[in-house]
Structure 1
Amino acid sequence: MRMVHAGVVPTERALGYSLAGLAVVVAVTVPTVLLFGLGRVFTGAVLGAVLAVAALVALFKRDAVVLTEQAIHRRTPWSVTDIEWDRVVAGRFGLDERSRWSLALDLTAGAEPHSELVLLSIPPVSGPVSGAYDLRKREQINEVRDILRHKKIPVTVLPDIAAALEQHWQIAPPTR
């Protein structure tokens, strides 16, 4: 079985990453202007923006949940936490606080108190796959569904979500 990449970057961390990207732009632009003069503001800003984009891509790529045969690895840019599969009680596909569809795992107490691990958060599906984003989310749902079935993790799915996934994306609900 292969690795499945999932995970949702929390808003607070995404804001921190954005501020780090802005800091990179400033950290490159200011020295460029100081060294080469006011005529190089645009050059410094473009170079800073390119480096900021590279930094943001690295930060967001590193921030993920990776499901493997052995364990679930919750990664941030500065740490990795391993969660054993036997800590997973169940999964649920429902609505989150922002009215998005969220696929989350319920975990038993371990190092941290009883918690949930959000694997996917997508806008409600209301039509067929219409672009790369929809296609990737459809693939992720199938990959997560397959590994949860393989691990025999029960998944509860709201009926409206199950019906929309089956009707619009032609995938069976992510249950075992």
Structure 2
Amino acid sequence: MLRYWDQIPEKASNSVEETWLDTGDIGFIDDHGNLWLVGRTNGRIKSGGENIYPEEVEAVLIQHPGVLSSVVVGIPDPRLTELVVACIRLRDNWQWSDDSFKYSVQSNELFLSSTILRLHCREKNLTGFKIPKIFILWKTQFPLTTTGKIRRDQIRKEVMSQQLSFPNKL
């Protein structure tokens, strides 16, 4: 593959023999020769000198029965470079609470909190630095591109504007 259809590469190659197209995908090949894609270069979060791929964190969060969907982004932080932030959409009959796990018999609703989701991440063996520092309840659909991909840039902007409105509790 030489290039994407109808696009001029950002970095034009001087070599006629160069056959590598950088798609921005990040992955690895395991011992059995299988290719595993773990994320994209432009989505990678740098926190405390570590690389975090949002897709890995999202895959863990979506395993919780109360999470309908999630988007993980990094926002600027003076100490860590970026903070890991998870935007969460809840399933029906689930409520967000700042308290720990509760169950309401009368309304048959389950409650979810930052504490519960951090515990869930630990139980699923997500490395400590990858566990989100901030959880935000997202009440609307996540913004999508015309091809149906998540608009992380737009979500990041909205999260950053929310964080400027509220003092940091870290």
TM range (shorter): under 0.3
Name the TM-score, length of structure 1 as normaliser.
0.22
Which structure's relative contact order is higher, taking Cα pairs within 8 Å and 6+ residues apart? Answer: 1
Greater helix content:
1
Greater strand content:
2
Name the TM-score, length of structure 2 as normaliser.
0.22
Find the structure with the greater CA-based Rg: 1
